Copies of this chain bind each other. A is one copy, B any other.
Amino acid sequence: MRATYLFGPGDVAVIDAPDPGLVEPTDALVRVLRACVCGSDLHPYHGATPPPGGQPMGHEFVGVVESVGADVATVRSGQVVIAPFMFSCGACDFCLEGLQTSCRIGGIWGRDGIGGAQAEAVRVPLADGTLVPVDVSEDDERIPALLTLSDVYGTGYHAARTGGVLPGSTVAVIGDGAVGLFAALSAARFGAERVILLGHHESRLALGRRWGATDVVPTRGDEAVAAVREMTGGDGVHVVLEAVGHAPAFAQAMAMVRPGGAVSRVGVPQYATGPIGREQFGANVTITGGLAPARRYIPELLPGVLAGDVDAGAVFDAEVPLDDTGEGYRLMGARAALKVLVRP
């Protein structure tokens, strides 16, 4: 089959790879209908050293089940399924608590003999715990919207949920990538009174407004902090949703949160330490969020996507055939596309 690999900084290629097949009785084999490129793919794309032989890429996909192992009970051949960005058993204590990202036997795509999602097919371990079947046909126009439940919608939602956004909250969202936009949407749906979206791309900010952002701040750094403070009478916001992951974004978040408020971060940290000293302690600022258990949120968010209450597919502003996945990385790396669909 054709599959996408990272061979070095900026070097993404689609190559012939061995066809996946069932290995464990808990596996499913899934033919990919749509995958996509994630903002978090850009971190290794811009700088990681992949293992010898390359790194299989992609962790978001909607597909059709081709076959299942003998122990798989909840999905069957022919079903359209959503796969979250990690696989998980669904039965251990962490999974039952809704923290599938800490599943005791789960893992991530593209490692340990499991392929990436930017490919024609994927072997899915722990299929019962991982996959969510959806009653749609494989040419349903909502497939792109459903694909956002693999990661970006659930991740934005995780930010707002763990940050404790409530009716009447003031919220700032740092980052106008797909996760930031879903964070803004989720904050609005939790009833936030004010949702201030910080970003630098007119079209993304426009989508953010359509999804519930009440204000946009297109400036950067200290200027952006000052703007948010001015909008909130000098106090800062109840909740900051940090959807970037770079150290300056986190510092900015800590500088615009109201005393007693929370910074909820869902951008994968590109830093090891952060400002959590006496000032933040004195203001009783909580730091929360983390790697989103996307699997947990799929059943909860699915009805709104199916019903069209949320036009989640609007985050995709470009599409490439699988063999051109490298072009998808280039477009996203250059910020020329918000989020790129990959069609095998």
Q: Which A residues lie at the B interface, using CB under 8 A?
A: 94, 97, 99, 101-102, 162, 259-260, 265, 268-269, 271-278, 280-291, 293
Contacts of A280 in B (CB 8 A): 290
**A287 in complex: contacting residue of B269, B282, B286, CB < 8 Å:** B286
For this chain, the copies found in one complex come to: 2
A269 and B273 within 8 A (CB): no
Docked CA distance A214–B102 (Å): 27
Tell me, in angstroms, the Cα distance from A288 to B273 when the chains sit together: 16
Contacts of A260 in B (CB 8 A): 94, 97, 99, 102
**What is the bound-complex CA distance between A259 and B95, given in angstroms?**
12
Secondary structure of the A contact surface, majority rule: mixed
**How far is B269's CA from A248's CA once the two chains are assembled, in angstroms?**
22
Can you offer 16 A-B residue contacts whose CB atoms are under 8 A? A97-B260, A101-B282, A162-B284, A268-B278, A269-B277, A272-B277, A272-B278, A273-B274, A273-B276, A273-B277, A281-B290, A282-B290, A282-B291, A283-B290, A284-B290, A284-B291
Nearest residue, chain B, Cβ from A247? B277
Q: How far is the CA of A271 from the CA of B282 in the complex (A)?
A: 13
| Besides A94-B259, A99-B260, 4 other A-B contacts (C-beta < 8 A) | A101-B259, A101-B284, A269-B281, A274-B274
A177 to chain B, nearest CB (A): 17
Q: Which listed residue, B99, B265, B276, B283, touches A281 by the CB 8 Å rule? A: B265
